[in-house]
Amino acid sequence: MNRHQNIIGLVAGLALAGFMVSTLTGAAAHGAAAALRNRRAAVEDTYTLSKRVFKVGDVSRYKLNVKANIDGKDAATVSLTFKVTTKSAKPSGEFTLVNEIETATSTNEGKEQDISAFMPVVTVSRDKAGKVINKSEGGNPQAAEQIANLLQALATINDAYLPKDPVKIGDKWKVAITNPGNGGGATKAVGEATFADTETLMGIKSVKLKVVTDLVTENAEEKSHSVSTLNIDPVSGKLLKVSAKAEGTSMGTKMVRELELTPLPADTK
């Protein structure tokens, strides 16, 4: 695989991930963001969930796998490990996160290649008005745009799904999600979230949400149905895990897209 094919495969994989994440994640919250914490209500196992407050110096590490099938054929698979460091944070909800890609590989037609050199450093920030933006440094420009939007989406992915009222396992609530796309555009999806269960991950008893959404569009040829699960630390509000699958069509092309984000120890590569 030559350099040109390598970049095309990478961008294709990340572009599909971005299309899928647009049905999985919401825009940043406006105003103050309270900590997502587990506050036991009068009923045992009832949770009041609110938005996360970022803490300066906090470090999280993740593994991200993205794969897609286009018209019945497997497309490039992209695997990343990356570190997220909170560089600044304010009680009003403003934050700055620095995302550093530690390893990156692309698998296309059974051939695996190291693509770490194409990866940017991505800074994601939210201002006092609640607007979230990203900035990329280094890497391949096309790949940088795709992965920057993906990492921006993951930074506040759980904000759009939090219920207004206390919930217990089995409760359901409606969600409406808007996410910025490439070139200044945006996508919207609507659906339903369910408090599915609790699950212990890396010693943390997490809240597990199941979210089912459909893309909202006036174009009958653009469709996407997504089923995802999110695990959230109810004490810190930190996103721990995402598993998602989206099926649909884009410009007449049938697509199946899968994304999995899993936590890694903060001090071990």
Instruction: Give the 3-state secondary structure of 2-30.
Output: CHHHHHHHHHHHHHHHHHHHCCCCCCCCC
What would the 3-class secondary structure string for 91-137 be? CCCCEEEEEEEEEEEEEECCEEEECHHHCCEEEEEECCCCCEEEEEE
Question: Cα dist. 265→146, 156, 198, 201 in Å?
Answer: 26, 21, 20, 11
Instruction: Specify the amino acid at residue 128.
Output: K
The total of other beta-carbon atoms located within 10 Å of residue 165's CB is 9
pLDDT given at position 205: 87
Find where tokens 């089995």 sit.
Answer: 170
List the domain boundaries for the chain: 3-264
Multiple choice CATH, 3-264, 2.60.120, 2.30.30, 3.40.50, 2.30.230: 2.30.230
Q: Name the nearest CA neighbour of 233 among 30, 54, 29.
A: 54
Contact 7, 142 (CB under 8 A): yes
Task: Give the pLDDT of the chain (269 residues) as one tens digit per residue.
Answer: 444 444 444 544 555 455 455 444 432 333 223 333 343 333 357 887 777 878 999 999 999 999 988 888 888 889 999 999 999 999 988 999 999 999 999 998 888 999 999 999 999 999 999 899 999 999 988 888 888 988 998 888 878 788 888 889 999 999 887 765 555 556 778 899 999 999 999 888 889 999 999 988 777 667 889 999 999 887 777 889 999 999 988 778 898 989 999 999 876 54
For the four alpha carbons of 25, 26, 28 and 30, in that order, the dihedral sign comes to negative
Q: Name the nearest CA neighbour of 56 among 90, 10, 6, 103.
A: 90
pLDDT given at position 268: 53
Instruction: Specify the amino acid at residue 37.
Output: R
pLDDT given at position 181: 55
Question: Cα dist. 144→52, 63, 147, 249 in Å?
Answer: 26, 18, 5, 25
DSSP code of 160? G
For 161, the 3-state DSSP assignment is helix
